[in-house]
Structure 1
Amino acid sequence: MAHGYISPKGALEMEDVGNNICDELVLRSLLQYDSRDADEKTLIMHDLVRDLAQSIMENKIPGVQVQRANVSSASDHSKIRELNLSGTQIRTLPDSLCRLWNLQVLNLDDCEKLEALPKKTRDLINLRHLFLEDCESLTEMPSKIGELTSLRTLSQFIVGRNRGNRLEELQCLKLGGKLTIRHLERVENLMDAKKANLAEKENLLHLNLQWESDNDAPTLEEKESEEKVFEALEPHPNLEILWVWGFNGRHFPDWMSNSTLEKLVDVHISSCKNFLHLPQLGELPHLKYLWVTTAEEVEYIIEDPLISVRQFPSLKTLYLWSLPNLKGFLKEQVTNKSVEAFSNLEELRIEDCSSLKVVPSSLKKLKKLKCTSSNLALLSNLENLTKLDMYFEESTSVETKYAVTTETLRSQTNLKILNISNADELSLPEQGLRALKSLTNLYIVNCNSLPRVWFVHFTALEELGIYGCPEVVELPQEIKNLNNCLKTVILSDLPHMVCVPKALQHVSDSLQYLYLFGLPQLRSLPGWLGDLRCLEDLSIHDCLKIASIPDSIRGMTKLRYLSVQEFPELERRCEREKGEDWHKIAHIAHLQIGEWIP
């Protein structure tokens, strides 16, 4: 349940009353905020209430019954208030739907094949919430949807060119929550954009603006037109999330650099190929997440601070992808002003930014870095990393891999999680690995070999994942160095692995979780599997040549979870009470045989 749509102008609407009730229920410990939601927006049943409910159900107290309303059995469909069709494969909705005059909630989220809404949708005069998230096949909105003046949620609006489905239909709608506006390239009249009246929509928290033109070479007139439209779409200062996709202009609107949008916490700028400079977002006091992708002309993140020398004070995550001309985070004249920037940055992702060679030394709180081999030199300034993702580009020379990696890894004594893609023995030479004494998680992706040296120095390794490595058929014997620490092994998408690696017998004193996914040549499960006396969880998915479960599994008393999926023959043999292998696995407490049903 989203929280925080209270109108400051006095009149209490249905959502306002609901929010007040939620506040009261939180105070009375009947509801609580979900601890997994970092922004504290989601309310769930309080632990005490849930425990009481479970206790009641488990004891089956006489007279307590749970009944479900069956909408389809209602004799008067005009009484229907909510209709949930989310995730269905429906292409069109019947016109009769518009006779549900009292319908207040229509949920069509994830209806990927839905092509159109009923033409008379405007007859649903009591509709308050229309959810259209991920309805990518929708091509236009029904005419005069702006007449639904009770509407408070419209998660997607598609701009049309005809009167009745233009952007001005949003003018009188008091929308809140999230709004995605698609096909903004269709806006021909600047006044139409102004009439959308986004600046007055005080409950709108998430705005997603999308231009979807196929024109790769817009004229100067077209660029200027999009700039004016974008300027006219200024949102209310209450906005928290802004996503911009496909904008063809050269300059972002002035309001994006305006500190009045001080509640912004998340900004995404994607596929805006023609803009020359990023908006000055560093003044925004609460901005936590910034994503910039496919910006070919941008050279710096900060060019000239307007007011404060403290830039991006709250930013935690920065993602930069496909910025080929990005030279640095701060322009040279800015660094001369002693600007304090990115002081709270924790996660940095840099991909396809070949001109970037250095990051600010002020990134003292940075814990996670993802980068390609062309950016590995960035690590020389970073000493507090706990997670590193490295992708080695094929164009990187062996000499560069060896030299850069050796020097940069030597300082990463705190590193705990390492993801390696497209690496080889020279990519991670022994001199650079010796410092990684704290490494607990190693994931190897698309590598043709597993050099033994990798398993010599990682004496604290707890989890090993190997994915998409076509030449890997066995694990090095040096894995025995990990016998007292290695708990989890994941082997996935290894097309030539014929046998479960015998080297795993060397970690029988510590291995607790073994996952075998997508091993098409794996012929059988070995009898020595029973020697893995600490194994608690065994998952086997998409290993079609395995014919049966070994007898030794009956002696694995600590095995509590077994999952067998995506190969019918073994699923049949493991069928409860009936399968030939059922007696071997009947002692396992938690079984998942066949298709996973969440």
Structure 2
Amino acid sequence: MHDLVHDLAQIVGMLEYSTMEEAITVEDDISDKVCGLSFFLGNEGRLQTREALEKTKKLRTLIACPPSRWLVSNINIDMLMKNFQSLCVLDVSHCLIKEVPPSIRKLKHLRYLDLSRNISIEVLPKSITSLYNLQTLKVNTCFELRELRKEMRKMVSLRHFEFEGKCTEMLVEMGRLTNLQTLTHFIVGKDEGHSLEELKCLNLKGKLTISGLENIVTIEEAREANLRGNKHDIRELTLIWGSSNTGMNDDDVLEGLEPHPNLKRLSIGGFGVAKYPSWMEKLLAYKNLIDLVKCIDREFYYSSSNNNNNSNTSGASSYSSSSGIMVAFPSLKILRLNTMPNLVEWLEVLPSFPSLEELYVSSCPKLKTMPTQFLSLKRFKFGYFPNKMALKSLSSNLVSLNYLTIERCRDLKSVPEGLLQNNANILHELCFGRCPKLETIFPSKEEEVEEEGQVVGSGSSSSHHHLQQPLLLLVFPFLQCLKIIDCPLVKTFPDLQGMTSRRCLKLIGFKELKSLPEGLQWLTKLDTLEIGQFSEELEQLDTIKGEEDLQHLVSLRRLRLFGWPQHKNPQHQLKHQLTHYLQFLRTEEDYW
């Protein structure tokens, strides 16, 4: 909005809405006729605020915008409830509220109440159930919230209810709230009035998490939720079985929880299955599905018409598009496979996953085979004690990666051939972490040659070592970040001269380093540099190889050197700039 138009709008709406900013004083004269007020104050404005507020008896909208945390400590929340009984909108999220006072019952006209991010709230007052006109109630990120009032079933005007906390059961007979459109979480209980039947007649939309599914026994009970019937506006669905789940009836329960085809995101957790539900075969008909999370304690799979139904196999069936071409998961953009200890094979059906951009594979130790055709994949994260054979089967055909992370692969000795070569010109970020046997990241010849070069992870004082000569000089022209952390056996690195776009370089977890990396002077865009552990022998040296290159890092803002000699302070090398964060740690334990 143009400044003049903005000023005109403020003049016209002066008596309607006001903003209390940092420099406000009583003399600034907030009109007693103002109906709406937003706070944008920090600590400096709080002395005069109580007097300013007491003039606004007709206030209908009150929004405490960050950083107005002082609101409760300076202006008692109970005072707000008693003095502004005409309020229709009250947003006191993130205001350090510890307890909602019973006087909230005085806000009879309230239609919108946001108590989110007040992490100390443990229980809502009983009087909140008398707010019969309330349409929106938000208590998101109230992690200590342990109880919902059973009488909330009387709040028949409620349309949107969002909450997070430690609650173990829902309010009784939630199905009475027939105007409800948004419900972020439903907890299934064993007692009457807490079953999935309470969701049957609710036309919900947006996000829905259903937990406590271990309390469901039969497929008929599961179908009471009517997820496929009148839940066509649900876009994100999360189904969670608790830690006490025995898995005995999970297959029937999941069979009855078939979602509507309009679904965009599906996540399933804590699920122990004996056979897959039939609607999983039709999952590919979910043309709008863009995010699928498999976070399963035991096994999970989706089937193919040519699948042998092996419970250790994950395959894919087909979806027939309008063009007549069979395509699996045509719209899926994000896929996460997490904690699937019994999954051995992930079978491939072509064409499949044409839109997949992000793939995360974590804690699948038996997985040996994966699909190879992910032509749109941009981000790939692989780790947490996986099987290196799965990485090898996937790597050769990845040609569109921008971000690659490999971590906690304890048996991995080398990055599979082709993974970096095929993506060198488009990679933006490379991260390798806690792979204790990893020796070779960048491609090399089979034979070892004696070559003078950059050495990491060797305790020898010689500058000549038996290293693997690079097979080809890989250049990463758009690489902005390279992290190699706790991979102490890695010996060679690519030429830093070809990485002039790099902004972040972290080489941590190596032993007995005797110099800074060669070619460091070329990284003029480097913002963050963290390296270690340097050898104690450097304490005896007046000059350390590579320290003069620091003067060329004109963009450096964060520098961490682990084990750097105490008598060597590179600050004088950085005199061309003000480094925001300069730290010299004796050991890497200080870092973690």
TM-score by length of 1: 0.65
> Structure 2 counterpart of 1:513, which letter?
L
> Structure 1 counterpart of 2:293, which letter?
H
Question: Which whole-Å CA distance do the structure 1 matches of 2:562 and 2:13 have between them?
Answer: 50
Equivalent residue of 1:268, what SS?
strand
Distance 1:528-1:196 versus aligned 2 partners, 3 A rule: closer
Cα-to-partner distance string for 1:36-67 (whole Å, 9 max, x where unaligned): xxxxxxxxxxxx47x67777799999999523
Contact kept, 8 Å, 1:324 with 1:352, in 2: the verdict is yes
> Structure 2 counterpart of 1:266, which letter?
D
Question: Which whole-Å CA distance do the structure 2 matches of 1:281 and 1:98 have between them?
Answer: 52
Cα-to-partner distance string for 1:210-244 (whole Å, 9 max, x where unaligned): 1114245x4xxx23xx3333233333333322222
Question: Which whole-Å CA distance do the structure 2 matches of 1:160 and 1:193 have between them?
Answer: 13
| Match of residue 212, structure 1, among 227, 242, 246 | 242
Distance 1:502-1:154 versus aligned 2 partners, 3 A rule: farther
Structure 1 position 84, deviation (Å): 1.5
Structure 1 position 451, deviation (Å): 4.6
Question: Which whole-Å CA distance do the structure 1 matches of 2:372 and 2:195 have between them?
Answer: 49
Question: Which whole-Å CA distance do the structure 1 matches of 2:514 and 2:508 have between them?
Answer: 14
Pairwise mapping of residues 372-521 of structure 1 onto structure 2 (< 5 A)?
373-377=388-392, 378-391=394-407, 393-396=409-412, 401=413, 405=416, 408-416=419-427, 417-422=429-434, 425-428=439-442, 429-431=468-470, 434-438=473-477, 440=479, 441-448=481-488, 451=491, 453-454=493-494, 458-466=498-506, 469=509, 471=511, 476-480=516-520, 482-483=521-522, 485-491=524-530, 503=546, 505-516=548-559
- The residue that corresponds to 1:242 in the other structure is 266
Distance 1:515-1:271 versus aligned 2 partners, 3 A rule: same
| 2:197 is aligned with 1:158 | no
| 2:382 is aligned with 1:371 | yes
> Structure 2 counterpart of 1:125, which letter?
V
| 2:90 is aligned with 1:74 | no
> Structure 1 counterpart of 2:160, which letter?
H
- The residue that corresponds to 2:117 in the other structure is 87
> Structure 2 counterpart of 1:462, which letter?
R
Contact kept, 8 Å, 2:117 with 2:141, in 1: the verdict is yes
Structure 1 position 443, deviation (Å): 1.4
Equivalent residue of 2:141, what SS?
coil
Structure 1 position 486, deviation (Å): 4.2
Query: What runs of 5+ residues in structure 1 fail to find an aligned partner?
Result: 1-47, 283-295, 546-565, 567-598
Structure 1 position 406, deviation (Å): 5.8
Contact kept, 8 Å, 1:143 with 1:165, in 2: the verdict is yes
Contact kept, 8 Å, 1:108 with 1:131, in 2: the verdict is yes
- The residue that corresponds to 2:167 in the other structure is 138
- The residue that corresponds to 2:298 in the other structure is 273
Cα-to-partner distance string for 1:74-110 (whole Å, 9 max, x where unaligned): 2342122222211221111111111222222111101
Distance 1:229-1:354 versus aligned 2 partners, 3 A rule: closer
Contact kept, 8 Å, 2:115 with 2:138, in 1: the verdict is yes
Pairwise mapping of residues 533-552 of structure 1 onto structure 2 (< 5 A)?
533=576, 535=577, 538-539=580-581
Aligned residues: 462
Question: Which whole-Å CA distance do the structure 1 matches of 2:127 and 2:203 have between them?
Answer: 26
- The residue that corresponds to 1:125 in the other structure is 156
Question: Which whole-Å CA distance do the structure 1 matches of 2:107 and 2:315 have between them?
Answer: 56
Contact kept, 8 Å, 1:316 with 1:345, in 2: the verdict is yes
Distance 1:118-1:228 versus aligned 2 partners, 3 A rule: same
Question: Which whole-Å CA distance do the structure 1 matches of 2:406 and 2:269 have between them?
Answer: 27
| Match of residue 347, structure 2, among 330, 348, 353 | 330
**Relative to structure 2, which stretch is displaced further, 68-77 or 514-523?**
514-523
- The residue that corresponds to 2:571 in the other structure is 528
- The residue that corresponds to 2:206 in the other structure is 177
Structure 1 position 349, deviation (Å): 3.4
RMSD: 4.4
Contact kept, 8 Å, 1:146 with 1:173, in 2: the verdict is yes
Q: Larger helix proportion, structure 1 or 2?
A: 1
Cα-to-partner distance string for 1:475-533 (whole Å, 9 max, x where unaligned): 524143x425442224389799999x984641433431322479799979947346352
Question: Which whole-Å CA distance do the structure 2 matches of 1:486 and 1:96 have between them?
Answer: 59
Cα-to-partner distance string for 1:292-335 (whole Å, 9 max, x where unaligned): xxxx9432433x5475533233333333345566565535xx6x
- The residue that corresponds to 1:319 in the other structure is 336
Cα-to-partner distance string for 1:248-281 (whole Å, 9 max, x where unaligned): 2323332333365433332222215244x41469
Equivalent residue of 2:315, what SS?
strand
- The residue that corresponds to 1:264 in the other structure is 289
Pairwise mapping of residues 330-349 of structure 1 onto structure 2 (< 5 A)?
330=347, 339-349=350-360
**Relative to structure 2, which stretch is displaced further, 441-450 or 536-545?**
536-545
Query: What runs of 5+ residues in structure 2 fail to find an aligned partner?
Result: 20-36, 39-60, 63-79, 86-105, 443-467
Question: Which whole-Å CA distance do the structure 2 matches of 1:456 and 1:495 have between them?
Answer: 20
| Match of residue 187, structure 1, among 206, 209, 216 | 216
TM-score by length of 2: 0.65
Q: Identity, % of aligned pairs?
A: 27
> Structure 2 counterpart of 1:330, which letter?
L
Question: Which whole-Å CA distance do the structure 1 matches of 2:156 and 2:141 have between them?
Answer: 24
Structure 1 position 473, deviation (Å): 6.8
Question: Which whole-Å CA distance do the structure 1 matches of 2:273 and 2:418 have between them?
Answer: 42
